[in-house]
A and B are shown apart, each in its own frame.
Chain A
Amino acid sequence: MSELVVDKISLSFGGLQVLNEVSLSVNEGELLALIGPNGAGKTTVFNCISGLYRPTGAVRFRGQDIIGKKPHEVAALGIARTFQHGEVFARLNVADNLMAARHLAIRSNPLSEMLGLPGARRQEREHRAQIARILDLCDLTALADTPVTDLPYGTQKLVGFARALALGPSLLLLDEPSAGLTREEREDLAYYILKTKAELGIAMIWIEHDMQMVADLADRIHVLDYGRSLADGAPEAVLNDPGVIKAYLGTV
């Protein structure tokens, strides 16, 4: 059963057509790699799914059309995302970055929080326990109280990944999680992605430029080029597709 179906979405900025009838889908627990040359429209697809842009066509999450929903409403449905540059909350430490993503799940109001009422305190404790599991999954437990700005770039991006998991999503959009990471950090990231898939069974759409990683990890690959869907299928088939090779290398 498809978790998310993107059905012929098109988007233009003024005279520039950024997406042209892009269609893709991801199944429950599936890891779909979304690849394509720079400017192909990969992040734009994410922005359409997460409610930042409003394309024509349809985006259906578990059968429900979500185009026109506000970003926080999309998140409330269980769609979380990471950002190319991490975009962690600089004013919060690692644990509170994750807690910020529990916002929807925490049931309390400003008054009970101010007064420190038992209900608000219990919520806080329960959700701290929830994020402790995610910190553990991403080996961030030792850094829980560290201000994120004290962390190296690669670790900040990992915090961004853990923060998206903290939302408790059933679909995760990963926007170039490996960009700017060292070789070693990439290997760790691959491990966390596989672990997330195995332990939490979350469907993922994963924008990636590292073709080796894609070939190793992805269940399926979808290729975008100049805002169009170019190919879709199993990794070995897609990566050997002459059209895809041409898009990446120019004329062969």
Chain B
Amino acid sequence: MSDLSPMRVVTALVAIAALIALPFLASGATLDIANQILLATIGAIALMLLTGFAGQISLGHAGLLAAGAFTAGILAQEIAAPFWIGIPAAALTGALLGVIFGLPSLRLRGIYLAVSTLALHFLVVYVGGEYETRRGFSTGILIDPPVVFGFEFWDPVAWYPVLLVVAVLVWLLARNLLRSRTGRAWAAIHDTEPVAAALGINVARTKLWAFVISSAITAMAGALFAYYRGFVSIEAFSLFVTIQYVAMIIIGGMGSLLGAVLGAAFVTILPHAIEAASGVLPSSGGLAGSIFAMNYAAFGLIMIAFLVFEPGGLVGILRRIGGKRGTR
């Protein structure tokens, strides 16, 4: 954990310098992608805690993001609540939903658990959609940008440092947790539940905590997403979003926080990369319409490729490169 080899220190310093320099160098569009990566990072860390560390499968991720976004949106719309109420409220909603999402895990595992969380996804999306139609916001809910001491957060440049700080904080909180009692209990139940129980670990409570913590962080990410976009619509939280997050933690590398970050970056950049690539190709006119299809297909192929050839994900590749020098 704490081996500060010169190589790692240099890499870390370069990364920090690049993150600080980015808003001064990048265009608004590039910074928007960076912000999307940071938002995805928060959501991916949350899913990584649940699946990569505690070993619980969930297909409810988009539903939880939606719950957070809608909590912020509805509070802003109905009682004009500012962000410092909206974000904690979203986290609280996520925590409560986490208990509900987690209850099936006490009985079910694997594919059965996945399907039950999927049912809850549809439930949240249904409730969100009902709210939109009942209140007459059929296209979605508008949210005013957060204001701090008279300063309005509305453009990507203003948002970048905020999201960067939140993402770093979430990383640190997750790292602390994983190095403590709760993190070890997650690893234990992930390995073998009966043995964990025989050593005094309350398996049910440990699982529920995993769902609660992961869901609270996820809903908070959803609320941040809502404030960042200034707009909430249930269409933004399709099942494909869940698949994207599952792809992030698989491509990044299961059981690694760094993997969550790398996966979030990879999956966020991928559609833009495909778009850029299709622009370079000669028959771009014909391809432009099929960019979405290409994006889906590329996802499928890349996920299968990682599962088959590199189950350790991007982090596995990094470790292999580092491992050649005899370090772990």
Contact = CB atoms under 8 A, between A and B. Distances in A.
Interface of A: 50-52, 70-72, 74-76, 80-81, 83, 87, 89-92, 96, 99-104, 106, 108, 110, 113-116, 120, 123-124, 163-164, 167
A246 B173 CA distance: 62
Given A72-B202, A76-B200, A100 B184 contact: yes
A100 B187 contact: yes
A91 B190 contact: yes
A221 to B, nearest CB: 25
Nearest to B201: A103
Interface stretch (B21-29, B69-77, B174-182, B302-310): B174-182
Contacts of B201: 72, 100, 103
Given A89-B187, A100-B188, A113 B199 contact: no
Contact of A114 (B177, B188, B191, B202): B177
B202 to A, nearest CB: 5
Interface string B180-197: 111111011011101111
A99 B200 contact: no
Given A70-B197, A114-B173, A89 B203 contact: no
B184 A110 contact: no
Contacts of B196: 89, 100
A114 B176 contact: yes
Range of interface residues on B (Cβ < 8 Å): 20 to 34
A231 B138 CA distance: 79
Closest 3 CB pairs between A and B?
A75-B200, A113-B180, A71-B197
Contacts of B183: 113
A71 B198 contact: yes
Contact of B209 (A50, A91, A110): A110
A248 B196 CA distance: 34
A114 B209 CA distance: 12
Among B174, B197, B255, chain A packs the most CB atoms within 10 A around the CB of B197
Contacts of A116: 176
Interface string B200-229: 111100000100010000000000000000
25 contacts: A51-B197, A70-B197, A72-B203, A75-B200, A80-B199, A83-B198, A89-B188, A89-B195, A91-B187, A91-B190, A91-B191, A99-B181, A99-B184, A100-B196, A103-B181, A103-B188, A110-B182, A113-B180, A113-B183, A114-B176, A115-B173, A123-B181, A124-B181, A164-B199, A167-B200
B177 A110 contact: yes
B176 to A, nearest CB: 5
Given A71-B197, A71-B198, A103-B184, A89 B213 contact: no
Given A52-B194, A91-B255, A100 B176 contact: no
Nearest to B255: A91
Contacts of B199: 75, 80, 100-101, 103, 163-164, 167
Contacts of A91: 187, 190-191, 255
A92 B184 CA distance: 8
A108 B184 contact: no
Contacts of B180: 108, 113, 120, 124
Nearest to B53: A91
Contact of B184 (A71, A87, A96, A167): A96
Given A89-B188, A100-B187, A75 B181 contact: no
Contacts of B173: 114-115
B68 to A, nearest CB: 18
Given A72-B201, A96-B184, A99-B184, A113 B176 contact: yes
Contacts of B188: 89, 92, 100, 103
Given A103-B199, A110-B213, A167-B200, A87 B192 contact: yes
A218 B1 CA distance: 42
Given A83-B198, A110-B177, A116-B176, 5 more contacts: A76-B200, A91-B187, A100-B201, A113-B177, A113-B180
B191 A113 contact: no
Contacts of B177: 110, 113-114
A4 to B, nearest CB: 16
Contacts of A52: 194, 198
A193 B174 CA distance: 39
Contacts of B203: 72
A164 B200 CA distance: 10
A175 to B, nearest CB: 10
Nearest to B217: A114
B176 A115 contact: yes
